[in-house]
Amino acid sequence: MEKYVKKNLLIFLASLSIIEASWFFYNLILLEKDPQNVLFLGFSGNRLLLMAVIFFVIFISVWFLIKQIKNHPVQLLAKFEEWFKKHSITSMIFGFVFLIGIWGTSYLLWAYFNDTYSAILNRIGPVVLLYLIIFTQIVVYLLLFNKNILMIINNIYQGIDKKKTGYLLLVISFLVGLVTLNITLYNHTDEGDVLSIGWLLSEGYVLYKDVFSHHFPLPYYWVGLIIKIFGSSVVIIRLSFLILKTIIFFVAMKNSRFYLSIGLTAITWNAISFLYLGNMLLYDSFAGLFLILAFSIVLAHLLKKIELSPKQLIIIGLSLSFAFLSDPTKVFPGIVICLSLAIEVCVKYGVFGKITWKKIGYLIISGLFPIVVFILVLILYQTFDDFRVFVIEFNSNIYSKYSGQISIYYFINQLKKGFEIFNPIWRENLNPVYFWDEYLRIDHSIYTGLFYRVAVWSSILYLSIKKKYFTAIMIFIYVASNLIRATEAFHASPFVLLSIFLATIIIEDILLTEKEIYKINVYNQSLKSNILKIGQSLIIFIFLLNIFWLNFRSTDYFLKNISDLTYQGNFTKFEIDAEETHLLSCNLDEVKFLFYPVYPEVHFWGKLRPITKYLFLLPWVVDAFEEDIIADLSKTTYPSLVFINKSVCVWNLYCVDDYASNIIEYLDEKYIQLSDYYYASPALLDICDVNIE
């Protein structure tokens, strides 16, 4: 019975190829002609070549279909096998497919680099799509009838020194990170907040007591420490974060033994992270890295690659704690990891086993240690109440009215909707070479937002097929917990990093453990087994292709936007603003400043001390602390200069001249208005002849 099922499958594939190739050939004939490139019969050379290839596909498919219908399938396959050996068919078919692939890829790349590539791709879009479909079917034929190609791939893979290759990939990823070091696509304000507060901390200010923030402290402490040791160079600060990133990937690689996966993830993330501001010092960037460190070790343990040692449990605990101290919403992924480990250990050693509580103890103590240290710092500097008011109460009662309350509902919703994989926004853009100009919509593409979710679901299904149900469920819940804060753009960078890692994990695990994949033979194994192996091979092909494409697009972006890679292209404007501000204040050290509503970075670049602890004048800050800001502005005994752009509308909803009207009114009354943007205190005008012109 099995052979007849195989026969029907082969008949179906051959018939499908004939229909598709014929439709393809028909569309090529009807395609609008280009009179400038006519070679023969009104067609260009490229079109004639493609028509010849498709005609050959039709001929082979028809011949194969006739033979398949007339002959017994086993006889036909035996004839194929004999013909393969006689004519070295592996080389012939592989060479044929390779030439088609080279031709198609070259054409796409040429069109991509051509100034008119958008119009070209729109014209031949259906043809390119069908070309990819037929190319995939040829790959399926290869997998059905010959194992030598996959054996070659396997031999290459098995001959690789995984550890050395992983380390080499990590070094390359660091070099890629150096290329993206200076890029600031957008949102310089959030990093400006971290840089400015970090600089103030290095000058002796106390976080939450002397300077306001409603975020958790780790990024501020990191920047403050780097500035204190190495000085306030933005290049050094970003380089320190790149080094930290590389160290985290190295520790993850060494402790999880996912050498190739971590190496490939590191390269890809350093190549595309600038799209998600992952090269900048934001709390999302810190949290995502620490989470991937903890997750990789836990996943390696659940997949039986390692047995957790006390050192690894301590690393997991510290990583989860640092992620939490970067972004408190990452407590949810931390809980998932801790519960998963606790359940696994209890099942293995018993609930009341000595080993169980010893392992859980390492995890809990190491996880609580940084948090306890932070609480002690708050108590030591008498700023615990400030932290409670500015971070806990402010976020819960004030900021949540504007940004929305973080709720367990978001977590449940992600579970119910499967990470929203069927949301049409991930399919808005099908063009593989669409412009990366709308960065907040970067995930609205099948090559980004949809690919990330497909990678996650593929890992879950793959582990389920391998009967690793507990690990699959853990990943399902863990990924959903990463999407509580955001589902796209830079706030979702931890999810993007996680999905890339899961994609590389599938690739490495299939190549490493699924050795049967290289023994595909339709007349020695079941149809189900062959289909499964073909599916695994296609997953590797698709994932590697998409990861390569993301890296290629990033490289192309770098080449086309060289100025975006330079220090001058990213930071000179801030230096100019700071220099102009110094000139306005006669270069007097005692002058204090404010740059409202959202220009905190000027404090860092100009080394300018603020009038008040509130470096932002955003609607939620005014809502809670308007009286405090006015009280600080009323201290006019010291010289001060205020910049305020009244035309700004936050999120296109809240306009400064409306929500900050009381503060503007106070400035109009008590300060001297120098221009549409600048106000000076009387004390400043007494010692400095401010010239706005």
Task: List 673's β-bridge partners, or say none.
Answer: 679
Helix (H, G, I), strand (E, B) or coil at 569: helix
Q: Which amino acid is at 185?
A: L
- pLDDT value at position 88? 44
In terms of domains, do 201 and 296 share one?
yes
Per the CB < 8 A criterion, the answer to whether 466 and 509 are in contact is no
Give residues with Cβ within 8 angstroms of 447, minimum separation 6: 429, 432, 546, 549, 550
Nearest residue to 104 (alpha-carbon basis) of 155, 53, 148 = 53
Q: What is the edge-to-edge ordering of all strands in the sheet holding 640-644? A: 592-596, 640-644, 678-680, 672-673
Six-digit token pair at 445? 């593409």
Task: List 649's β-bridge partners, or say none.
Answer: 655
Residue 312: inside a domain: no
Residue 477: inside a domain: yes
Write out residues in the chain with pLDDT < 50, as ranges: 1-2, 5, 73-74, 84, 87-93, 95-96, 99, 102, 106, 110, 113, 115-118, 515-525
Distance CA 480, CA 497 (A): 14
Residue 45: inside a domain: yes
In terms of domains, do 127 and 275 share one?
no
Distance CA 118, CA 120 (A): 5
Distance CA 112, CA 118 (A): 8
Nearest residue to 164 (alpha-carbon basis) of 260, 252, 295 = 260
What is the per-residue pLDDT across 129-156, written as a single tens digit (0 to 9) for each? 555 666 665 555 555 555 555 555 555 5
Predicted TM-score (pTM) of this structure: 0.79
- Please name the residue ranges forming H helices in 561-646: 567-584, 601-606, 619-633
Angle at 472 between CA 468 and CA 474, to 5 degrees: 120
Residue 118 Cα distances to 425, 432, 562, 656, angstroms:
21, 10, 22, 41
In terms of domains, do 98 and 195 share one?
no
- pLDDT value at position 185? 81
Domain tally for the chain? Answer: 3
Distance CA 49, CA 70 (A): 32
- pLDDT value at position 199? 96
Give residues with Cβ within 8 angstroms of 432, minimum separation 6: 108, 447, 549
Six-digit token pair at 12? 């179906």
Helix (H, G, I), strand (E, B) or coil at 327: coil
Find the domain containing 54 and state its range: 2-146
> How many C-beta neighbours within 10 Å does residue 422 have?
11
- pLDDT value at position 203? 94
In terms of domains, do 527 and 603 share one?
no
Six-digit token pair at 374? 């932070």
- pLDDT value at position 36? 62
Distance CA 269, CA 116 (A): 30
Residue 693: inside a domain: no
> How many C-beta neighbours within 10 Å does residue 222 have?
20
Nearest residue to 3 (alpha-carbon basis) of 82, 75, 61, 79 = 75
In terms of domains, do 509 and 638 share one?
no
Residue 80: inside a domain: yes
Q: Which amino acid is at 659?
A: Y
Distance CA 465, CA 308 (A): 25
Helix (H, G, I), strand (E, B) or coil at 555: helix
DSSP sequence for 409-463? HHHHHHHHTTTTTT-GGGGSB--TT-----GGGTTSBTTTHHHHHHHHHHHHHHH
Distance CA 210, CA 192 (A): 17
Q: Which of 115, 146, 177 is the last residue before a domain boundary?
A: 146
Six-digit token pair at 491? 């706030």
- pLDDT value at position 188? 85
| CA-based radius of gyration for the chain | 30
In terms of domains, do 407 and 470 share one?
yes
Q: What is the 3-state secondary structure (H, E, C) of 64-93?
A: HHHHHHHCCHHHHHHHHHHHHHHCCHHHHH
In terms of domains, do 416 and 390 share one?
yes
**Residue where the block lists tokens 């300077």:** 211
In terms of domains, do 587 and 519 share one?
no
What is the per-residue pLDDT across 274-291, written as a single tens digit (0 to 9) for each? 889 999 999 999 999 999
In terms of domains, do 202 and 262 share one?
yes
Six-digit token pair at 212? 């306001």
Residue 357: inside a domain: no
Instruction: Report strand pairing: 672-673 vs 649-650.
Output: unpaired
Q: Which of 85, 120, 146 is the last residue before a domain boundary?
A: 146
In terms of domains, do 176 and 292 share one?
yes
In terms of domains, do 72 and 193 share one?
no
In terms of domains, do 659 and 557 share one?
no
- pLDDT value at position 31? 66
Distance CA 52, CA 254 (A): 52
Q: Distance between terminal CA atoms of the chain?
A: 90
Query: Dihedral, CA atoms, 62, 63, 64, 65, nearest 10 degrees?
Result: 50
Residue 376: inside a domain: no
Task: List 71's β-bridge partners, or say none.
Answer: none
Q: Which amino acid is at 388?
A: R
Q: Which of 501, 534, 562 is the last residue before a domain boundary?
A: 562
Six-digit token pair at 366? 């190491």
- pLDDT value at position 7? 58
Per the CB < 8 A criterion, the answer to whether 24 and 127 are in contact is yes
Distance CA 574, CA 304 (A): 51
Residue 321: inside a domain: no
Six-digit token pair at 492? 């979702």
